[in-house]
Amino acid sequence: MRPRFAAAVALTATAAIALTGCTKKNETDTAGGTDAGSKTYKVAFVPKLQGVPYFEAMNAGGKEAAAALGNVEWLYQGPTQADAAAQADIVRSYIQQKVDALIVAPNDPDSMAPLLQQAKDAGIHVATADTDAPSSVREVFVNQATAEGIGQGLTDALLKAMGGKGKYAIVSCGQTAENLNSWIEVQKAYTKEKYPEAQIVDIVYAGEDQAKATQMATDLMNAHPDLTGLVGECTSSAPGVAQAVKDAGKIGKVFTVGLGTPQAMKPYLQDKSSTAAILWDVENLGYLTAWAGAQIAQGKPFAATNNVSSELSAVEYTEADKMLLLGPALAITDQNVDQFNY
């Protein structure tokens, strides 16, 4: 009796969740366009998830831009987990609020595309930032760095520490994360081309789990006793690989680099278990995102080179792929880590 009851209850719960998910879908077809006339433009940004330092730093930059520009109201809300459905609900609510510009860092670019179409139909200017939805109606993509910039930055920083040769492995996160995979492709090609004596021996996927990333890095060091380098491809595996090297007592023998946020990487940069964190100035990315939102809300076109602020005096725009590029990737080391408060 009991297990059958449990199964029935579980089914009912699932069905209820599925139903509530569906009923919300078709509520927002009627909104009309209202972007003209108002002096203050509402620019909304929906991150992949909120509460993590990365997107909170973007939020800080966005707020700063709104204050500097004067005619922008910056709105920021994201799901508490990197979940495409929860993110879609927030996007729909912004469509209903009839914001002037809606910028999304999509968790799932494919499922976000029809929602962006809905927003456009409602007269809202749409854009993407941080992660693109290439096959959507977005007017601009605010790109933090090119895949080449990041992949080459990671490879150069690691191989410099490894002396230009040796075996290294990559601990990545989501196996289907498109941006991570595009960086890995660059790392593979660039290593082969520029460092013929270096070799990537394995690429493993730990999800967003720090402890798992650390354990996998430990296993990789055991699997390849001659390993001298590790790359943590995302913000949870970057400190993970460094921790593994530290725990194994291999600081100075195995070098690590990673895509980590400065404050999280600070202890590892200081004890040398991590050589460098490759990132970009996230606050500036937020600033540029808010600025771009204000531009499209006002219907202003982008120039080939844009003077956004004193720190962002020459932001390049490419018309072919409608992309604003923040600039080259940034290497964070124990020397400059204190400049960043996120």
Partner 1 sequence: MSVTTAEKPAVRTTKVLPSPVTGQEIVLVGVIAILWVALWVSTPAFMTAGSIQPLLVATAPVALVGVGMTIVIITGGIDVSVGAAIMVCSVLTAKLLVDAEVNLGVAVIVSVAAGGLLGLVNGVLIAYGRVHAIIITFGTANLFLFLGLQIFGSGTVNGIPGTLAFFGRGQDGRTFGVPHAFLITLLITAAAWWYLRHTAGGRHFFAIGGDAQAARLAGVRVQRRVLLAYVLTGLLVGLASCFVIAQGTSTLDQSVGSGKELAVIAAVVIGGTSIMGGRGSVLGTLLGALLVQSVASGVTQLGWSSQLSDLFVGIFIIVAVGADLLRARARRSR
Closest CA relative to residue 186, chosen from 234, 238, 160, 147: 147
> In the bound complex, what is the minimum distance in angstroms from residue 215's beta carbon to partner 1?
5
Residue ranges in 78-97 that form contacts with partner 1 under rule CB under 8 A: 80-81
- What separation in angstroms does the CA of 232 have from each of 58, 171, 300? 22, 5, 40
| Count of residues interacting with partner 1 (CB under 8 A) | 54
Instruction: Name which of 79 and 153 has its Cβ closer to partner 1.
Output: 79
> In the bound complex, what is the minimum distance in angstroms from residue 53's beta carbon to partner 1?
5
Instruction: Name which of 148 and 208 has its Cβ closer to partner 1.
Output: 208
Contact letters for partner 1, residues 179-208 (x by CB under 8 A): ----------------------xx-xxx-x
Backbone angles phi, psi at 325, to 5 degrees: -115, 120
DSSP secondary structure letter of residue 337: G
Contact (Cβ atoms closer than 8 angstroms) between residue 58 and residue 289: yes
Q: Binding of partner 1 at residue 214 (CB under 8 A)?
A: yes
Span of 18-26, 40-48, 259-267, 306-314 interacting with partner 1 by CB under 8 A: 259-267
What is the residue whose two structure tokens read 């139903």?
Answer: 19
If one counts every other C-beta atom within 10 angstroms of the C-beta of residue 51, the result is 11
Beta bridge partners of 128: 104, 141
Give residue 221's Cα distance to chain centre: 28
Q: Binding of partner 1 at residue 161 (CB under 8 A)?
A: no
Q: Which residues bind partner 1 (CB under 8 A)?
A: 2-3, 5-6, 9-10, 13, 49-53, 56, 80-81, 175, 201-202, 204-206, 208-212, 214-216, 218-225, 235-236, 239-240, 242-244, 246-249, 261, 263-264, 266-268
